[in-house]
């Protein structure tokens, strides 16, 4: 598809058609799975030219694969970036990002409320290789500058943040990042490329756990980085190929298929989450609801500025605390008690004992993460069925 046409297309059309590239052999409507670890050469000269990148071609799936490349093109288009890199998981994307930009003796400025795996990486693993993580309290954009020094190589934010749905002002963080010439990376997993595009607010790199909404069906694992061509090439050649965190072709194809319905899924996720948040917000047994679509949410105005809608994630606290939350989850009939998020089915979990168990009790308290917090990834089921399921569970506690 011609570049001028691509620039005029809306995101829901890009989700379906990508760049318009067809399978060169059969022009299949569904781009095929190149389920091969290695690729043949026509001659020794052909091999040498491909290895030296003097001509296009494929060598080995760890270096590149047509199915994976197709997904990378789709993600770059959806985020408005020059290039993208698909990895074997969201954590592979995070480690690739960090090791591309930082080395022993450097530091990264981030926020304390993050996906538990990301927090564990910054707090536990990164220091083992001599990379320090510095945590800026909310409001993040007002506190990151005081943590920056000459060894700061990355500012990393997550918005909406997991699990409290804290909203971080991307544009304000970008101003600080540009002032010091430091790349700003944004974990866009909760919002997705359909609802939020951090690059348009001044960010340099976007990260996704593609396992979640990008795939949307809880049947494969992957990660995404989107940024400049220069950064992506560096990340691919200097880190991903060496560490080997490459997605398999079938997993990439499942994500291509998932992206085709991203727009319609997100519209339903958002509508259901809004309805469930409003129901919970008015229930006498609920103490607090965290959903950026509620005017009472601390980050509501910023979310309105940088998101097209407020997403499918919410968290809440019951007046009975952790014990009440555990009883509630045990009584649900439709919602599924499971970690992860972004599935077409509604998933509910207790972060303090699952996704965020890496946080100590002291850290949970210091960062405002209640032990009684319940997180819901609201699916695309019938809205009334979800509310009825939550209502009957609330009646039993």
For residues 21 and 27, the answer to whether their CB atoms sit within 8 Å is no
| Bridge-based pairing state of the strands 205-209 and 223-227 | antiparallel
Q: Is 54 annotated in the active site?
A: no
Architecture of the domain whose range is 10-259: 3-Layer(aba) Sandwich (3.40)
For the sheet with 152-158, list strands across it.
83-87, 223-227, 205-209, 184-187, 152-158, 107-110, 132-135
pLDDT (0 to 100) of residue 395: 95
Active-site residue among 62, 153, 257, 288?
A: 62
Active-site residue among 11, 34, 70, 187?
A: 187
pLDDT of 370 above 80 = no
Q: Is 212 annotated in the active site?
A: yes
pLDDT (0 to 100) of residue 364: 62
Cα 150 to its chain centre, rounded Å, is: 29
Percentage of the chain beyond pLDDT 90 is 83
pLDDT digits (tens, 9 = 90+) for 105-148: 999 999 999 999 999 999 999 999 999 999 999 999 999 999 99
CA distance 371 to 390: 20
Model-level pTM greater than 0.75? yes
CA distance 162 to 111: 11
Q: What is the mean pLDDT of the chain?
A: 93
Q: Which tokens hold the place of 120?
A: 């564990």
Q: Is 304 annotated in the active site?
A: no
Sequence spans of domains, the chain = 10-259, 262-395
For residues 88 and 221, the answer to whether their CB atoms sit within 8 Å is yes
Domain 262-395 CATH (choose: 3.90.1150.10, 3.40.50.300, 1.10.150.120, 3.30.390.10): 3.90.1150.10
Active-site residue among 11, 34, 70, 115?
A: 115
For CA atoms 258, 265, 269, 368, give the dihedral sign: positive
Active-site residue among 11, 119, 204, 212?
A: 212
Q: Is 187 annotated in the active site?
A: yes
Mean pLDDT, rounded, for 194-212: 98
Residues in the chain: 397
Q: Which tokens hold the place of 39?
A: 């690729």
Residue with tokens 């002032």: 179
Helix axes 383-395, 262-281, angle to 10 degrees: 30
């Amino acid at each position: 598809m011609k570049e001028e046409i691509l620039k005029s297309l809306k995101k829901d059309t890009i989700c379906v058609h990508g760049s318009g590239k067809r399978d060169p052999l059969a022009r299949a409507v569904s781009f095929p799975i190149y389920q091969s670890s290695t690729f043949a050469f026509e001659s020794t000269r052909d091999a040498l030219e491909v290895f030296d990148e003097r001509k296009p071609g494929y060598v080995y799936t760890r270096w590149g694969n047509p199915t994976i490349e197709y997904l990378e093109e789709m993600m770059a288009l959806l985020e408005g970036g020059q290039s993208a890199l698909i990895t074997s998981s969201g954590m592979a994307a995070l480690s690739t990002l960090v090791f591309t930009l930082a080395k022993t003796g450097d530091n990264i400025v981030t926020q304390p409320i993050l996906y538990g795996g990301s927090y564990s990486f910054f707090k536990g693993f990164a220091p083992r290789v001599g990379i320090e993580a510095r945590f800026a309290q909310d409001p993040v954009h007002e506190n990151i500058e005081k943590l920056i020094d000459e060894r700061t190589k990355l500012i990393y934010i997550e918005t909406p943040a997991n699990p409290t749905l804290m909203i971080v002002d991307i544009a304000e963080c970008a101003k600080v990042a540009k002032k010091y010439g430091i790349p700003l990376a944004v974990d866009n997993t909760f919002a997705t490329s359909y609802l939020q595009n951090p690059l348009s607010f001044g960010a340099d790199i976007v990260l996704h756990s593609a396992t979640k909404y990008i795939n949307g069906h809880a049947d494969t694992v992957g990660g995404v980085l989107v940024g400049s061509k220069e950064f992506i090439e560096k990340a691919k050649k200097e880190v991903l190929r060496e560490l080997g965190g490459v997605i398999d072709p079938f997993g990439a194809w499942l994500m291509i298929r998932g992206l085709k319905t991203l727009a319609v899924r997100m519209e339903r996720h958002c509508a259901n989450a809004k309805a469930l948040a409003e129901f919970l917000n008015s229930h006498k047994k609920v103490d607090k609801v965290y959903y950026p679509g509620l005017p009472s949410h601390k980050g509501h105005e910023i979310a309105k500025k940088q998101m097209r809608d407020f997403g499918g994630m919410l968290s809440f606290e019951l007046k009975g605390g952790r014990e009440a939350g555990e009883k509630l989850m045990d009584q649900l009939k439709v919602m599924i008690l499971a970690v992860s998020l972004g599935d077409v089915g509604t998933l509910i979990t207790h972060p303090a004992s699952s996704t965020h168990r890496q946080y100590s009790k002291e850290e949970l308290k210091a960062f405002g993460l209640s032990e009684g917090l319940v997180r819901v990834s609201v699916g695309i089921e019938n809205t009334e069925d979800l509310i009825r399921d939550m209502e009957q569970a609330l009646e039993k506690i």
